[in-house]
Structure 1
Amino acid sequence: MHPKTVLITGCSSGIGRATALAFLDEEWEVYATARNPADIETLGDRGCDISTLDVTDPEDVERVVSRIVDEHGRIDCLVNNAGYAQFGPIEDVPTDKVHEQFDANVYGPHRLTRAVLPHMREQESGTIVNVSSVAGRLSFPGGGVYCASKFALEAMSDALRVEVEDKGIDVVLIEPGPVDTQFNQRAAEEADEEEIERSEAYAPFYKAFDDAQAVGEGGFWEEPPERVAEDIVNAASATKPAARYPVGTVASIAVLGRFVPDSLRDSAFGLLRKLS
């Protein structure tokens, strides 16, 4: 029997890289992709098939999917992992930055999903794994644009799951809490003063944001990317995967926040603002 085939986006570091290695350990045929091929050369050395893929480029998407089908005849799993976070108060984030956020976090997974679905329907099997976030279930001040993109990904996944259920295809949402990756570094770059103009009206937010960056990553509350990768591989391998996989203690607790009355949740965020 031929090994199962998986296409993973955003493999340059963090969750994507860990996921590629985890699938390799399970003897899948792994197509690891990233915008910069130099970032994934070591994955090629480990046994992955590597390819340049910018999820915002439709031609890239079609090229990579066609290559996999030509070489292996099927795609058993798609892991939509590529993405980033645009932080900043809603008023300060320019609309073009909102568009860029959705292009990577929502339209990218949509492009790839549309590209692989005809092949999965033909083989009457497959799993689409969308890497969301606890932020796809609970929004927070300063993260509205990012959270909106993850809320959209969750809504799209919920609809798709029912649409393709009778075609033998599963759709899974992975919802990590904080993960020990370079994710926050990229978010800090996007929220830099050169990216968005910091208005004095939201000075407390920017102070809290900068303080959090100064503390750095690797806190005890953060899960290692390998922990997220484990749930992704388990979901892809399961006969009947769950619709959602909250990853880590923080995620499991935080998703309950959506059931808290809005007034109480807003008061809690207001208190945090005052303390900062």
Structure 2
Amino acid sequence: MEDKTVLITGASSGIGRATAETFEAEGWTVYATARDTDDIEGLAEAGCVTQELDVTEPEHVEAAVERVIEDVGRLDCLVNNAGYAQFGPLEDVPTDRVHDQFDVNVYGPHRLIREALPHMREQGEGTIVNVSSVAGRVATPGMGVYNGSKFALEGLTDALRGEVDDYGVDAVLIEPGPVDTNFDERADEELENGTERSGAYDSIYAFYEEGQTFGGTSALSVPPTDVAETILEAACSPDPDPRYPVGQLAKYSSFLRFVPDRLRDGAYRLVKKLA
């Protein structure tokens, strides 16, 4: 894989950092990006090429892809990993916060896809890996904004897969469940500062404030290296799967889509009562 090149967003910590380290260890040329390059100095020391990239800034996106092409002439894999979670009941989340969520989790990957695809089409191959979540398959109360962004990313990727198939380009979704990262630290911050509490949803806030979110360490969570290795597997496969759930909870939760809505809603009511 010494002649293969990957561009990774959100490489400052967690899944993104583990993915950069995993690809670099396999001999890929790794372009690791983050909003603050100070956060990825360690990756530079490990042999990755680092660059500032805020996925909400079109000029950053254009510059990052152009640098890869200017340096090595090709881009074999794009990993859209940058993202965060805006939790909170829909009524309590201001519309500008919804926009911010979609700007990072949906519009950001879309910007990068538009920049990367012309080069992948020209070279006749490439893999676009979009890091989604089990939350992109099953919605839960208090996560509607985050669910919406990940549902949207899943829809975009499913459509993209058929659009680029004729050009030798693959589009893949990675769907982790809970991961041992600091993901829930920002989620907690967004829950605290990004909502206007109406007083009508105290049970939902209590549920998430007790740490029962999609990040952090728990018996059901997986290390970020598991997700990184799955991303590498998808990038190396000549015929990758459309979706890769990571972790037992992600694999089991995907079956909830087939449960009748009324039964699923009843289960949520029961969980809230028990909480």
Q: Which amino acid letter does the alignment assign opposite residue 144 of structure 1? A: G
> Partner residue of 2:66?
66
Question: Could you say what secondary structure the match of 2:201 adopts?
Answer: helix
Secondary structure of residue in 2 paired with 1:91? helix
Contact kept in structure 1, 2:134 and 2:250, CA below 8 Å: yes
Q: Closer, same or farther in 2 for the Cα pair 1:59/1:178, shift >3 Å?
A: same
Distance (whole Å) between structure 1 residues aligned to residue 117 and residue 200 of structure 2: 46
**Per-residue deviation, residues 38-84 of structure 1 (Å, max 9, x unmatched):** 00000000000000000000000001111110000000000000000
Q: 1:80-113, CA deviations, whole angstroms, 9 ceiling, x for partnerless residues? A: 0000000000000000000000000000000000
Distance in 2 separating the partners of 1:183 and 1:147: 15
User: Is the CA contact 1:7–1:77 (under 8 Å) kept in the aligned structure 2?
Assistant: yes
User: In 2, Cα distance between the equivalents of 1:49 and 1:213?
Assistant: 36
For residue 133 of structure 1, what is the amino acid of its counterpart?
S
Q: Secondary structure at the match of 2:91?
A: coil
- Whether the 8 Å CA contact 2:131–2:174 is kept in 1: the answer is yes
Q: Is the 8 A contact 2:90 2:144 kept in 1?
A: yes
Q: Counterpart in 1 of 2:180?
A: 180
Give me the whole-angstrom Cα distance separating, in 1, the residues matched to 2:164 and 2:212.
41
Gaps in structure 1 of 5+ consecutive residues: none
Aligned to 2:30: 30
Aligned to 1:164, what secondary structure does the other structure show? helix
Q: How does 1:127-146 map to 2 (within 5 A)?
A: 127-146=127-146
TM-superposition CA deviations, 1:243-273 (whole Å, max 9, x none)? 0000010000001001000000000001111
Q: Secondary structure at the match of 1:212?
A: coil
Contact 1:80 1:129 in 2 (8 A): yes
Please name the residue that 1:253 is paired with. Answer: 252
SS across alignment from 1:165? helix
Number of the residue aligned with 2:42:
42
SS of the residue 1:200 aligns to? coil
AA aligned to 1:64 is A
Structure 1 runs, 4 residues or longer, greater than 2 Å off: none
Change (3 A) 1:38 1:143: same
Structure 1 SS opposite 2:238: coil
Query: 1:155-197 deviations in whole A, cap 9, x for unaligned?
Result: 00000000000100000000000001010011001111x3212
Number of equivalences: 274
Say whether the 8 Å CA contact 1:188–1:213 is kept in structure 2: no
Q: 1: distance between equivalents of 2:191 and 2:197?
A: 9
TM-score with structure 1 setting the length? 0.97
Q: Distance in 1 between matches of 2:222 and 2:122?
A: 37
1:18-167 matched pairs, under 5 angstroms: 18-167=18-167
Amino-acid identity (%): 61
For structure 2, the 5+ residue unaligned runs are none
Counterpart CA distance in 1 for 2:13 and 2:3 is 24
**How far does residue 217 in structure 1 lie from its aligned partner after superposition?**
2.5
The answer to whether the 8 Å contact 2:183/2:216 transfers is no
Shift of 1:2: 5.6
What amino acid does structure 2 have at the position aligned with 1:217? G
Q: TM-score, normalised by structure 2?
A: 0.98
2: CA distance, partners of 1:238 / 1:103 = 30
Alignment partners' CA distance in 2, 1:171 and 1:146: 21
Question: Which stretch shows the higher mean deviation, 194-203 or 41-50?
Answer: 194-203
The residue type paired with residue 53 of structure 2 is L
In structure 2, C-alpha distance between the alignment counterparts of 1:77 and 1:213, rounded to whole Å: 33
- 1:208 deviation in Å? 1.3
- Residue 219 of structure 1, CA deviation: 0.9
Task: Please report the RMSD computed on the Cα atoms of aligned residues, expressed in angstroms.
Answer: 1.2
- Structure 1 residues 197 and 181, CA, compared in 2 at 3 Å: closer, same or farther? same
Distance 2:87 2:274 in 1: 20
